[in-house]
Structure 1
Amino acid sequence: MGKKRIAFVFPGQGAQYVGMGKDIYENFSQVRELFEKAEDILGFNLRDLCFEGPMDKLKLTSFSQPAIFVVSLATLEALKISLPEISPEATAGLSLGEYTALVASEAISFEDGVNLVYKRGRFMEEASQINPGGMVSLLGLDYQTVEEICQETGVEIANLNCPGQIVISGKKDALEKAVNLAKEKKVKRAVYLEVSGPFHSSLMSPASEKLLRELNKIEIKPPRIPVVSNVTASFENNPEEIRGNLVKQINHTTRWEDSIRFLASSGITTFLEIGPGKVLSGLIRRIDDSLEVYNIETTQDMKLFPERISLA
């Protein structure tokens, strides 16, 4: 395993599903302790929500964010116990996942992270009530074409996920105009996302202002493992820059494709998606199919991993 240059990546909102984390919870006492610690901070039964649902509640922004965050870090804890020899050279996370990466790299404490992502989810929901809207994934259009659609309709680019997949964000009527224009420009598909607001756009500015106040209350240290910022798509080591980027991240474009290309150009060859779902694994393969990608979510994944990576 020594020749592999590994990055850990962590999922964002949308990766949640009922039953996530249950397998590792049942198999690791350290994971059970982590859930208990999170529940003490959150004040609700996170285990029941993750393991039993209902999905309608789990997908609400203020619940899905702490749930995905805790399950991802619990999976990381189980991985460290199962395979202590695996050592990442870098970390990254999609949107919410950047907070997970910062806790994994010891820049932010677990306790502060739980509190932050719970409040971040609430602030995003509140901003969505002030500025209602949504998000649409456009498949098969290039950046320049989507930029023209944005200028003409007033929507904004929210996520640059992978080649041919760009997510736009905005008010409902502006999104409808944008989708109609995208169809004229021969979009392959326009998919409305199941989200409660126009995330990663200027309509989220009320949330970013509230988040800044919360971020100013906590200590951020230089990361022990380099973390890629969603906003800059490069490593950020300065605590004040990290703080500023987390504020900007809510109402600016998430540059995931650029982040993965940056890591690959830094010499990373192997990516481990740690936490619920396989969204990032799919995106990374579409960004660069020469990269090795593994999903680590269950005890079985950890058991099979040494054999899978040695065969790759």
Structure 2
Amino acid sequence: MLGIVYAGQGSQRVGMGQDFYEKYESFRKTIDGATKTVSAVTDMDVAKLCFEGPEEQLSQTKYTQPAMVAFAIGVTKLLKEAGINADYTCGLSLGEYSALYESETLDENQVLELIAKRGKYMAEASEGLDVKMAAVMGADRESVMECCDKANSELKGEKIVQAANFNCPGQIVISGDAIAVDKASAYLKEAGAKRIVPLKVSGPFHTKLMKPAGDKLAKELKDISFNEEKSKIVFNCLGREKTDEESIPALLEKQVQSSVYLEDSIKYMVDAGVDTIIEIGPGKAISKFINKTVDDVKVYSIDTVEDFENTIKELRA
């Protein structure tokens, strides 16, 4: 069984997708079409920003999110044209929107318009805040949660820090107000965490500080019709598939302000029978998370045309 997993914010790079754009017409049409859709929400030439930068602008939330999803949609189309479809799919944070496209739950324009608005709303929610995100290496979940609670208690809830991403065993990202993240980091070092690595992001993602973005998204989601999933989606804030009682709009609203359970999602797919996983996105961060989380799974990463063509050859073989 095949799983497809989509990368999240932080893995973007200038030049991403340029080789696909030059070689494959369907990818080129995707990127050019993305500009038309996204520019109605935010001023963005997707191809120009992805291929030429500047990196500082590409790294801004309102631009990163549409760029990453446009790349992912373009590569997903090429996989589908080659007859490769996921049995299970998920994504890290914004990557979940690419999973919605892969599963045909939403179409291309719906996904691009939604992610452009999501990026815009998350950027707005971050304005004026002194915030941080940091990857905690070598600490377990219980220690991270305890240290976050300790920092929040000391700050009397006026500033907050939360566990934002459970990426893999030994790597958990914390997020929130800078002073709270610093306090939690100090407690974590005392508790034996090996390293605390600041992340280059512009907002306190996946914390309750993103509630304004969630509220705005909820209004947008009311008017969208979701199709039945062609492949099974493992949702970020659950680490599993949704039940009949759970709705996609409610999960997407919750997702921006709740923890991302990537480790749980990977384990869920493998427990369901997935033995091959393709990561789509610049870099190979998720492939590393997968290899640290599960054994005996074949992992491919598609960042470049060479990656794509080698993956197709191996899967067909």
TM-score, normalised with respect to structure 1 = 0.94
1:197 equivalenced with 2:203 (yes/no): yes
Instruction: Tell me the equivalent position of 1:153.
Output: 151
**8 Å CA contact 1:103, 1:113 repeated in 2:** yes
Consecutive unaligned residues in structure 1, runs of 5 or more: none
In 1, Cα distance between the equivalents of 2:91 and 2:77? 16
More displaced, 32-41 or 247-256? 32-41
Task: State the 1:309 CA deviation.
Answer: 4.8
Compared CA separation, residues 134 and 6, structure 1 to 2 (3 A): same
In 1, Cα distance between the equivalents of 2:150 and 2:50? 41
**8 Å CA contact 2:176, 2:209 repeated in 1:** yes
Task: State the 1:236 CA deviation.
Answer: 2.7
In 2, Cα distance between the equivalents of 1:210 and 1:107? 21
1:55 equivalenced with 2:51 (yes/no): no
Task: State the 1:298 CA deviation.
Answer: 2.4
Compared CA separation, residues 148 and 308, structure 1 to 2 (3 A): same
2:127 partner SS: helix
> Which residues of 2 match residues 209-228 of structure 1 at below 5 A?
209-228=215-234
In 2, Cα distance between the equivalents of 1:290 and 1:170? 36
2:226 partner SS: coil
Instruction: Tell me the equivalent position of 2:65.
Output: 65
Q: Specify the code of the residue in structure 2 equivalent to 1:163.
A: P
**8 Å CA contact 1:160, 1:253 repeated in 2:** yes
**8 Å CA contact 1:223, 1:237 repeated in 2:** no
Task: State the 1:220 CA deviation.
Answer: 1.3
Deviating beyond 3 angstroms after TM superposition, the runs of 4 or more aligned structure 1 residues are 237-240, 306-311
1:124 equivalenced with 2:130 (yes/no): no
In 2, Cα distance between the equivalents of 1:8 and 1:239? 25
Q: Specify the code of the residue in structure 2 equivalent to 1:37.
A: G
1:260 equivalenced with 2:256 (yes/no): no
Q: CA RMSD in A?
A: 1.6
In 2, Cα distance between the equivalents of 1:174 and 1:27? 47
In 2, Cα distance between the equivalents of 1:237 and 1:42? 32
**8 Å CA contact 2:72, 2:281 repeated in 1:** yes
Deviations 1:255-311 (A, max 9, x none): 000000000100001100122221111110010132111012322223222554578
1:198 partner SS: coil
Q: Percent identity?
A: 39
In 2, Cα distance between the equivalents of 1:76 and 1:310? 16
Instruction: Tell me the equivalent position of 2:157.
Output: none
Q: Count the aligned residue pairs.
A: 305
Instruction: Tell me the equivalent position of 1:177.
Output: 183
**8 Å CA contact 2:86, 2:102 repeated in 1:** no
TM-score, normalised with respect to structure 2 = 0.92
Task: State the 1:19 CA deviation.
Answer: 0.4
In 2, Cα distance between the equivalents of 1:173 and 1:76? 40
Task: State the 1:239 CA deviation.
Answer: 9.7
Instruction: Tell me the equivalent position of 1:295.
Output: 301
1:251 partner SS: coil
Consecutive unaligned residues in structure 2, runs of 5 or more: 153-160
2:63 partner SS: helix
In 2, Cα distance between the equivalents of 1:73 and 1:49? 17
In 1, Cα distance between the equivalents of 2:169 and 2:162? 18
2:238 partner SS: coil
In 2, Cα distance between the equivalents of 1:148 and 1:202? 18
In 1, Cα distance between the equivalents of 2:32 and 2:313? 33
Q: Which residue of the other structure, out of 92, 99, 102, is the alignment partner of 2:100?
A: 102
Instruction: Tell me the equivalent position of 1:245.
Output: 251
1:182 partner SS: helix
Q: Which residue of the other structure, out of 32, 36, 40, is the alignment partner of 2:36?
A: 40
Instruction: Tell me the equivalent position of 2:288.
Output: 282
1:95 partner SS: coil
**8 Å CA contact 1:274, 1:295 repeated in 2:** yes
1:87 equivalenced with 2:85 (yes/no): yes
Task: State the 1:221 CA deviation.
Answer: 1.6
**8 Å CA contact 1:220, 1:239 repeated in 2:** no
**8 Å CA contact 1:72, 1:276 repeated in 2:** no
Task: State the 1:205 CA deviation.
Answer: 0.6
